[in-house]
């Protein structure tokens, strides 16, 4: 078998090369559709099972911004980072009243409170973990569509 030559022929090679040259044009709208559809998967799992509910405001106020091949799903509640990441010990001082108080219980805390901090409650991680299989399916399907489109153009 020394000096043996092998010849490999790829059918429709020029068409395949042309289709691969068009890969960005083919892939971009398909991937963009998967990015946009991922919002529904994230919304599906943004529930009281994943997000802490006290008043419901955090659970009900979310935004979705779409860019080119990217998107952001985020809580709109200004206090969301404190829930997600927790807080360290801090001082709370009365600003619009003489003392800090709980009007529901009538408890008076004084002008200054040394708050011990709040434990992190990583709800974004729970949403992502729950939505991951659906998002993986969306992007797997997108990759299949890209492959099929390139193969059809190469035929």
Is residue 55 scored above 70 in pLDDT?
yes
Range of the structural domain that residue 99 is part of: 87-118
Classify residue 108: in a domain, yes or no: yes
The overall longest dimension of the chain from CA atoms, in Å, is 97
142 and 107 belong to one structural domain: no
Shared-domain flag, residues 126 and 71: yes
Please tell me the predicted confidence (pLDDT) of residue 13.
85
Q: What is the mean pLDDT of residues 54-61?
A: 93
Report whether pLDDT(155) > 80.
Answer: no
Burial zone of 30 (CB within 10 Å; 0-12 exposed, 13-18 middle, 19+ buried): middle
Residues 82 and 99 in one domain: no
26 falls within a domain: yes
Q: Are residues 104 and 147 in the same domain?
A: no
* 100 and 113, same domain (yes or no): yes
pLDDT tens across 138-150, in order?
999 999 999 999 8
pLDDT at 6 (0 to 100): 81
Q: What average pLDDT does the segment 79-103 reach?
A: 92
In a domain, 10, yes or no: no
Q: What is the mean pLDDT of residues 55-68?
A: 94
Over range 110-115, report the average pLDDT: 92
38 plus 49 within the same structural domain:
yes
Q: How confident is the model at residue 116 (pLDDT cuts 50, 70, 90)?
A: very high
Report the predicted TM-score, pTM, of the whole model to 2 decimal places.
0.78
User: How far is 59 from 127, CA to CA, in rounded Å?
Assistant: 11
Mean predicted lDDT score pLDDT of the chain: 92
Residue 33 pLDDT > 80: yes
Residue 3 lies inside a defined structural domain of this protein: no
Q: What is the pLDDT of residue 1?
A: 55
Encode burial over 49-88: b for 16+ CB neighbours within 10 A, e otherwise.
Answer: ebbeeeeeebbeebeeeeeeeebebebebeebeebbeeee
On whether both 27 and 97 belong to a single domain, the answer is no
Under the banding of pLDDT at 50, 70 and 90, the label for residue 103 is confident
Number of domains in the chain: 2
Residues 142 and 67 reside in one and the same domain: yes
């Amino acid at each position: 078998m020394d000096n043996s030559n092998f010849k490999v022929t790829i059918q429709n090679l020029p068409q395949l090369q042309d289709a691969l040259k068009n890969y960005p044009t083919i892939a971009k709208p398909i991937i963009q559709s998967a990015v946009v559809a991922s919002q529904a998967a994230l919304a599906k799992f943004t529930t009281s099972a994943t997000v802490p509910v006290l008043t419901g405001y955090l659970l009900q106020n979310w935004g979705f911004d779409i860019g080119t091949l990217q998107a952001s799903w985020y809580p709109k509640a200004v206090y969301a980072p404190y829930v997600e990441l927790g807080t360290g010990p801090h001082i709370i001082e009365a600003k619009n009243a003489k003392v800090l108080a709980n009007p529901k219980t009538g408890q008076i805390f004084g002008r200054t409170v040394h708050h011990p901090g709040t434990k992190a409650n990583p709800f974004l991680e729970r949403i992502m973990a729950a939505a991951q299989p659906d998002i993986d399916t969306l992007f797997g399907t997108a990759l299949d569509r890209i492959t099929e489109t390139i193969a059809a153009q190469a035929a």
